[in-house]
Structure 1
Amino acid sequence: MNSISVRALLVRGMLAGLIAGAFALVVAYLLGEGPVDAAIAFEESHAHEHGGEELVSRTMQSTAGLATGVLLFGVAIGGIAALAFCFALGRIGRFGPRATAALVAFGALLSVYVVPYLKYPPNPPAVGDPETIGKRTTLYFLMILLSVLLSIAAVILGKRLAPRLGNWNATVAATAAFVVAAGLAFAFLPSFNEVPKGFPATVVWEFRLATLAIQVTVWTVFGLVFGHLAERLLAPAPAAAEGTSTASRAAAAAN
């Protein structure tokens, strides 16, 4: 794939990420703001001291701040996923641009979010010990790195086993290997249970479901939009190709 195609796909990936971010913003506002407000209310009601006026108002956080964060996140992951698409196209099987985009989006959702989510689920405000935030953040990103590397290893393993076991059996074997390896990581990495006493369990549950819904929205919309844009770039419409072929035959007949 030449540099011009990569650049064009990168731009389309960022555009698709922006569109995905816009959809995710709606989900975040509708599903996520309620649990966040409830968690903040719990934190304020149990706080013994107040540190003065907040630097950024809650209204600003839930509108412009939320929009900026989600949209920038969409653009960033769109660009990264587009580069991953450029590498994966033609290397993970005989898939077209749409199918490859869908597989990249699904793989990213699984490895970058779902697997780390199962080990270290996100928590709303007021949940978590401030003294362990550095350790928790480091372990979370370590889990993301391990999950991505294990996913890549599973794909490589599946491709190498396919000639001997067939595509289906190779896929099952590679998936099983990924699950076992991820399970070992879950077992050896430390866990945290820092939900304060009396904190509503429903708020934690609703917040975690909201974050999962946001990620599913981002990657689903990205996969659909980017797949369409990539296919239009890399595989022109058959009608256009047929029209070109007809014009060429007509010109040849005239000569």
Structure 2
Amino acid sequence: MVRTFLARGLLIGLLAGLIAGAFAFAFGEPRVDHAIALEEAAAQAGAPDPDAGTAEHGHAEAAEHGHGEDAVVSRPVQKAGLFLATGLYGLAVGGVFALVFAGLRGRVGPRSDGRLAVAAAGTAFTAIILVPFVKYPANPPAVGDPDTINSRTLLYVVMILVGLAATAIAVATARRVEGGPWARWTAAAVAFLVPVVAAWWLLPAVNEVPEGFPATLLWEFRLASIGTQLVFWTAFGVLFGWASDRAERRAAAHPLVAAPS
């Protein structure tokens, strides 16, 4: 049974990754191109005066930080690789999700496999993507100090861990609270929000947007970034839930044939 879930997760994860890649290509890549153009224009504007005898060094430095055709990986190759990246992301997420789903099935959440899949996908999106994104949203090229990338990555990982821990606390709280669904959902929401809001407030802010960077471009890039993740998790949750419900109905109709050996 676990192998069935794993195969389903890998296949649907790949499909959802390609769907998310198409969204990112249509809505994210134009913003990346715009940000790269601004970055390269700023690098050219800050290049040393050729009359000072340092023109060669200035052009070399500009090329080193370029993202265009002269970059180590050209933009057309980067855009093609976008689908490879989202596909691999989907495979990895699909495999992990399938294993977690197999462990949760029949223990927590809705009894229906389809509803459990959608609920689990929504929970994963909230805990792993939305919680850290609210505190540390994605930035386009030309935004962010390269010297702080390690500290920023660590802070982002901390927020992911906070989101996962808050989810575990919320689930445990909901199972302990007596009463109807409203009481359990309210207690779970409060148990989830308390550590998340505390982390948002206590962890240091990161604001490395250079002066003069277009606010509209920054906002549109961040919307495209979170939108790509939303498209992925929605597609994955709906497709995995549909496939699980279909398999569950088939097993109910043919119990002897569908029973695992």
- Normalising by structure 2, report the TM-score: 0.86
Correspondent of 1:17 among 5, 13, 16: 13
Note if contact 1:18-1:71 (Cα within 8 Å) is conserved in structure 2: yes
- Counterpart CA distance in 1 for 2:197 and 2:110 is 30
Correspondent of 2:209 among 171, 191, 195: 195
- Counterpart CA distance in 2 for 1:224 and 1:187 is 34
CA-to-aligned-CA distance 1:198-255 (integer Å, 9 cap, x gap): 11111111111001111111111111111122233344266x449x9xxxxxxxxxxx
Alignment of 1:22-61 (within 5 A): 22-47=18-43, 48=47, 49-52=61-64, 53-61=70-78
Q: C-alpha displacement at 1:22, in angstroms?
A: 1.4
Show the counterpart of 2:246.
Answer: 232
Note if contact 2:169-2:191 (Cα within 8 Å) is conserved in structure 1: no
**Aligned length in residues:** 236
- Counterpart CA distance in 1 for 2:102 and 2:109 is 13
Q: C-alpha displacement at 1:156, in angstroms?
A: 1.0
SS of the equivalent of 1:46 reads: helix
The runs of 4+ residues in structure 1 deviating greater than 6 Å are: none
- Counterpart CA distance in 2 for 1:194 and 1:149 is 28
Alignment of 1:96-115 (within 5 A): 96-115=112-131
Task: Give unmatched runs, 5+ long, in structure 1.
Answer: 245-255
Show the counterpart of 1:182.
Answer: 196
Note if contact 1:39-1:125 (Cα within 8 Å) is conserved in structure 2: yes
Note if contact 1:18-1:74 (Cα within 8 Å) is conserved in structure 2: yes
- Normalising by structure 1, report the TM-score: 0.88
- The letter for the 2-side match of 1:109 is F
CA-to-aligned-CA distance 1:89-133 (integer Å, 9 cap, x gap): 122244211000001100011001011100100000110011111
CA-to-aligned-CA distance 1:175-211 (integer Å, 9 cap, x gap): 0121121110111111111000111111111111001
Distance 1:94 1:41, change over 3 A: closer
Question: What's the RMSD between the two structures over aligned residues?
Answer: 1.8
Note if contact 1:84-1:104 (Cα within 8 Å) is conserved in structure 2: no
- The letter for the 2-side match of 1:36 is V
Show the counterpart of 1:248.
Answer: none
Alignment of 1:162-173 (within 5 A): 164-173=178-187
- Counterpart CA distance in 2 for 1:16 and 1:178 is 29
Show the counterpart of 1:250.
Answer: none
Show the counterpart of 1:62.
Answer: 79
Higher relative contact order (CA 8 A, sep 6+): 1
- Counterpart CA distance in 2 for 1:85 and 1:149 is 18
- Counterpart CA distance in 1 for 2:150 and 2:63 is 22
CA-to-aligned-CA distance 1:8-44 (integer Å, 9 cap, x gap): 1011001110110111111000000111001100100
Q: Does 1:122 align with 2:122?
A: no
Distance 1:31 1:241, change over 3 A: same
- The letter for the 2-side match of 1:183 is V
- Counterpart CA distance in 1 for 2:109 and 2:125 is 20
Correspondent of 2:234 among 220, 230, 235: 220
Determine what percentage of the aligned residue pairs are the same residue: 44
